[in-house]
Amino acid sequence: MIKPIGSDELQPRFVYDVAEHEKLSKEAESLPSVVISSQAAANAVMMGGGYFNPLKGYMNVADAMGAAEKMTLTDGSFFPVPVLCLLENTDAIGDAKRIALRDPNVDGNPVIAVMDVDAVEEVTDAQMKTMTQKVYRTEDMDHPGVQAFNTQGQIALSGPIQVLNFSYFQTEFPDTFRTAVEIRNEIAEHGWNKIVAFQTRNPMHLAHEELCHMAMERLGCDGLVIHMLLGKLKEGDIPAPVRDAAIRKMVEVYFPENSAMVTGYGYDMLYAGPREGVLHAYFRQNMGATHFIIGRDHAGVGDYYGDFDAQTIFDDEVPEGAMEIEIFMADHTAWSKKLNKVVMMREVDDHEKEDFVLLSGTKVREMLGNGEAPPKEFSRPEVAKILIDYYQSL
């Protein structure tokens, strides 16, 4: 199986030893504590599950700036985005060197991790601006990722963490949430050697499904890991339980048995386009995938990024040799009226726009809300039914 990034074996920050976990949980209740941001909590979940291997904790400002500016930390290691714990103030913890971090997304704010504080630093306005511009390619506060990043505070706590739970992801999505450790184990159980991963924050329509079939066939893959984001999205995106149900139904009906896994991970969407595409590839290697699909406008929002910026960044900006995972660079896929099948649009140069079945997201939502299934060339009827039920319940 493909190696994780930066080590021979995964080094998850979750405390798996039962006795140690119990001891640490008890200690945490007596430590100075602070409720962290949703983004910082998601970072803890990803470190806990091994996805951010080999990070041991939150970055200091120098490492965060290195990640933002050139995807390289001060020790020379590779990481594509800052992983920070930003606070508005340190009133709750004072100058304590060992603290408990509390989850903002679960009632009662339980402790999500214990942290040994190496440094408390103020992030300057100029540094926030640089990180924002480098990661998101915009400083527009209407961009949901920019807004989330810039409203946490500007005091950075750095240091190693020990993770005690996976926030709400394990309890709310018990059949779907998986750590990188668990996915590697499941891949080994399947006996797969060549694995392609597909990222989604939306239900999968026919074009997405066929893109996965294309990638598996062209790459000669043993298995597919459909890996959906389970964390916070922007307003208007379809909730995770609905996406989950729709994707599971699609796999159940249209994929051969034991050829695809439906899984999810606990992270808030950054909407950072190309830089998030690199991050997605990073943690897909850590979970055991050998290949990763990146298509048009990957992880984008609005008009902030070019259609294929998340592909060209791998050649233009990612340091050579930083990752072993290979990128399957896909074009927009759609149903061809001429060929009566889903195709990649760049591969059929004899087609005009009207030769494809193309529906806007707005049009699809309107149809579903009216109880009308999109055409079979766009969406599987079983998937459409689940989405119709959801939209009509609003």
Residues labelled as active-site residues: 201-202
DSSP lists the bridge partners of residue 119 as: 158
Task: Please give, one letter per residue, the 3-state secondary structure of the chain.
Answer: CCCCCCCCCCCCCECCCHHHHHHHHHHHCCCCEEECCHHHHHHHHHHHCCCCCCCCEECCHHHHHHHHHHCECCCCCECCCCCCEEECCCCCCCCCCEEEEECCCCCCCCEEEEEECCEEEECCHHHHHHHHHHHHCCCCCCCHHHHHHHCCCCEEEEEEEEECCCCCHHHHCCCCECCHHHHHHHHHHHCCCCEEEEEECCCCCHHHHHHHHHHHHHHCCCEEEEEEECCCCCCCCCCHHHHHHHHHHHHHHHCCCCCEEEEEECCCCCCCHHHHHHHHHHHHHHCCCCEEEECCCCCCCCCCCCCCHHHHHHHHCCCCCCCCCEEEECCCEEEECCCCEEEEHHHCCCCCHHHEECCCHHHHHHHHHCCCCCCCCCCCHHHHHHHHHHHHHC
Residue 266: phi and psi, rounded to 5, are -95, 90
Q: Report how far residue 135's alpha carbon sits from residue 119's, in angstroms, rounded to the nearest whole number.
A: 23
Q: Report how far residue 74's alpha carbon sits from residue 65's, in angstroms, rounded to the nearest whole number.
A: 9
In the numeric block, which tokens belong to residue 287?
Answer: 């979970």
Among residues 72, 28, 79, which one has the least CA distance to residue 56?
A: 79
Determine if residue 271 is left, alpha or beta; phi over 0 gives left, psi from -120 to 50 gives alpha, anything else beta: left
